[in-house]
């Protein structure tokens, strides 16, 4: 067996035998009222997809950084996470990460070490700022930051040369860096529900070149 789907089984805790299934490539544990994940998860080195969404996790084990095979999806949305373990930065082949609807006090900088990320979803966390290191995610194509507390973005956002979609809906934006206008592959910029933002002068230039700007 390479896939195990335990979605919405009202488990409360992960059965110990799950950690013995070292051949697993996909493990779905979403919507089970989980409050903790065992360090034994590090045994599942072949995992490509891990879904821990819709639980009650306040922390993740350090052993999550041992999941060297995790390349496809890591769902952590709708939990109670306030930080990520430093070890998660070892998942450099991971392509998709969902951190939405958690309780982070600030954007977890370790995410910038995930060089393989293609899509990052981090909506609903009330981030007040993004670190300059966000510009290190050179392969990122989609960045979803809806419903946070962002007033602006760092100039380094312009280093995301592969970025195609940038979702900033529902943030109290006061300004945006002009470096966004230099993103060569951008095709969608969502600025809806940002009444505090005066349209920057370069916005028309984006629209002129075919970028869909929602405002």
Measure the CA–CA gap between 123 and 30, rounded to whole angstroms.
18
* pLDDT tens profile 91-107: 999 999 999 999 998 99
Residues 14-36, mean pLDDT to the nearest whole number: 98
pTM (2 d.p.):
0.98
Residues 142-155, mean pLDDT to the nearest whole number: 98
Assess whether pLDDT exceeds 80 at residue 165.
yes
∠ Cα 213 121 147 (to 5°): 65
Q: What pLDDT score was predicted for residue 88?
A: 98
Q: What pLDDT score was predicted for residue 48?
A: 98
pLDDT, averaged across the chain: 97
Q: Beta partners for 37?
A: none
Measure the CA–CA gap between 134 and 136, rounded to whole angstroms.
5
Cα–Cα distances (Å) from 125 to 1, 35, 65, 76, in that order, read 36, 19, 23, 12
Assess whether pLDDT exceeds 90 at residue 110.
yes
3-state helix, strand, coil in the chain (%, to 5): 20, 15, 65
Q: What pLDDT score was predicted for residue 156?
A: 98
Counting residues of the chain whose pLDDT is more than 90, the rounded percentage is 99
Q: What pLDDT score was predicted for residue 49?
A: 98
Q: Which residues of 28-64 are buried (b: 16+ CB within 10 A; e: fewer)?
A: bbbbbebeebeeebbbbebbbbbbbbbbebeebbebb
Measure the CA–CA gap between 167 and 5, rounded to whole angstroms.
30
Provide the pLDDT confidence category of residue 1 given band limits of 50, 70 and 90: confident
Which domains can be identified in the chain, with CATH numbers? 3-214 (3.80.10.10)
Counting residues of the chain whose pLDDT is more than 70, the rounded percentage is 100
* pLDDT tens profile 176-207: 999 999 999 999 999 999 999 999 999 999 99
Provide the pLDDT confidence category of residue 84 given band limits of 50, 70 and 90: very high
Q: What pLDDT score was predicted for residue 105?
A: 85
For 154, list phi and psi in degrees, rounded to 5: -70, 150
* pLDDT tens profile 120-141: 999 999 999 999 999 999 999 9
101: left (phi over 0), alpha (psi -120 to 50) or beta: left
Strand (E) or helix (H) holding 150: none
Largest CA distance in the chain: 59
């Amino acid at each position: 067996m390479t896939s195990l789907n335990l979605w919405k089984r009202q488990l409360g805790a992960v059965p110990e035998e799950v950690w013995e299934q070292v051949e697993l490539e996909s493990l779905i544990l979403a919507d089970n009222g989980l409050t903790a994940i065992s360090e034994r998860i590090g045994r599942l080195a072949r995992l490509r997809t891990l879904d821990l969404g819709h639980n009650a996790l306040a922390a993740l084990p350090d052993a999550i950084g041992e999941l060297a095979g995790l390349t496809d999806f890591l769902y952590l949305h709708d939990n109670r996470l306030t930080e990520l373990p430093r070890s998660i930065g070892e998942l450099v082949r991971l392509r998709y990460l969902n951190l939405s609807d958690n309780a982070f006090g600030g954007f977890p900088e370790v995410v910038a070490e995930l060089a393989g990320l293609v899509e990052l979803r981090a909506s609903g966390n009330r981030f007040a700022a993004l670190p300059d290191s966000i510009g290190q995610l050179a392969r990122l194509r989609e960045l979803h930051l809806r419903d946070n507390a962002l007033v602006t973005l760092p100039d380094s956002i312009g280093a995301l040369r592969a970025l195609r979609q940038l979702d900033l809906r529902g943030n109290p934006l006061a300004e945006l860096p002009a470096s966004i206008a230099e993103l060569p592959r951008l095709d969608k910029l969502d600025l809806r529900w940002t009444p505090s933002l005066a349209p920057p002068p370069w916005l028309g230039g984006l629209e002129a070149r075919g970028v869909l700007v929602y405002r």
